[in-house]
Amino acid sequence: MSNSMWGGRFSEGPAAIMEEINASIDFDKKLYRQDIAGSQAHARMLARQGIIGADDAEKIVAGLDTILREIEAGTFTFSRALEDIHLNIESRLKELIGEPAGRLHTARSRNDQVATDFKLWVRDTIDAVDAALRELQIALADKAFLHAGQVMPGFTHLQSAQPVTFGHHLLAYVEMIGRDRGRFQDARRRLNENPLGAAALAGTSFPIDRFDTAKALGFDRPTANSLDSVSDRDFVIEALAAASLCAIHLSRFAEEIVIWSSAQFRFIKLSDKFTTGSSIMPQKRNPDAAELVRAKTGRIIGAQTALQIVMKGLPLAYQKDMQEDKEQAFDAFESLELAIAAATGMVLDMEPEAANLKKAAGSGFATATDLADWLVRALNMPFREAHHVTGRIVAIASERDIELTKVPLADMQAVHPAITDAVYSVLTVDKSVRSRTSYGGTSPKNVRSQAKRWQNALAREKRR
């Protein structure tokens, strides 16, 4: 039996395997809300332009409202034989209102219809992701302000480098996420053009008003080229690129949580809310939430890569290959939203282990740079010479397995006789972080100022 939605060109139905590979309803039913919104805007525009009757448009809009309620109530029956969300809704509309349903598809194609639906979905998803990222920034900024003076080791190469503060470390992620939000907002601005009315690929001979449907659907303007309108998937790839980089940032943070909560580091505590136990080792508290955030990054980057590969060799205009744009994008953004929520929960839940952080902050001769800086300031020594002198003093401390503060003054003076006991005033971790007052530095005063700046900016966003 032929597919009645396709008309008279086909006399037989598709083979079973064709139906299996061709149908997208199992995943694109997620677009039902966007598809209905686009169809209602299109019907109203057709009526305003005199292309269909006002009564038919009213019946179409009311019928689509009924379908929306059915889908949301779980009473709508999706059919794989009807392939996709568009034909499923159109078929049900015909059952509900009869002949006027056939007028809805005037001056459009499934090609511009799906591009419109997917743009609307990506736009809605970007808005949801942005709101979630804002909540993560708030959680980080609040915790940073609270722990602005808590010293901890700063690392390079995962080796103790210089003391920083816990608040400063958290604010680094606030900055990263701010850039992520900017990328999503840029992607949203670029995608906000309306493909509806481009039809299959060449536009239409009907006197439609594409500016009308653009306004109704919240787009800034209609797309300017019908070929590009139906074949463009830049908007998905760009959103996935932003999602991939965001996921990398979340993964880096998750990795630090895994390290910080280990028995070897004991920098933070996570409660039972975000950890699990072991089936065999009763002592274990595993940071599974962080590990899963870290792992989901692969799915998100994979979705971006997969879609880029799908698109890389496609000639204009629409190709069925492009049906592969949705399933992985849906999964990627669902994974990203879950990862953001988990990261926010862990930030709110975790508590720094103050004593362990402070002890670790002084390990590895972390205030060696402070010693070198003191030599420059107090003795007017060139930094390269100060670096060399400091290295020799560090070697003494390392050989004796003592901290820099424990190296006797006489031994320091044996390296350079002009050193005085004033040097000890800069060798504690608290003095070290307090001295880092340059803009963007780790001094507690700076951290409180930056945390407050973010808190105020994020609060203003909420009020807008």
Identify whether the C-beta of residue 326 lies closer than 8 Å to the C-beta of residue 114: no
Q: Which residue is catalytic, options 157, 205, 279, 438?
A: 157
Q: Looking at 261-367, list the stretches that DSSP marks H as alpha helix, in order from N- to C-terminal side.
A: 288-311, 327-349, 354-361
- Gyration radius (Cα) of the chain, Å: 30
Strands (E), 39-115: none
Identify whether the C-beta of residue 79 lies closer than 8 Å to the C-beta of residue 25: yes
Amino acid in the structure at residue 323? Q
What whole-number distance in Å separates Cα of residue 183 and Cα of residue 380? 46
Place of tokens 């080791």: 153
278 is catalytic: yes
Q: Which residue is catalytic, options 2, 278, 363, 425?
A: 278
Percent of the chain that is helix, strand, coil (3-state, to 5)? 70, 5, 25
What whole-number distance in Å separates Cα of residue 22 and Cα of residue 25? 9
Classified as helix, coil or strand, 163 is strand
What is the DSSP track for 340-351? HHHHHHHHHH-E
Place of tokens 């940073």: 144
Least Cα distance to 103 among 64, 70, 76 occurs for 64
Classified as helix, coil or strand, 352 is strand
The residues annotated as belonging to the active site are 157, 278
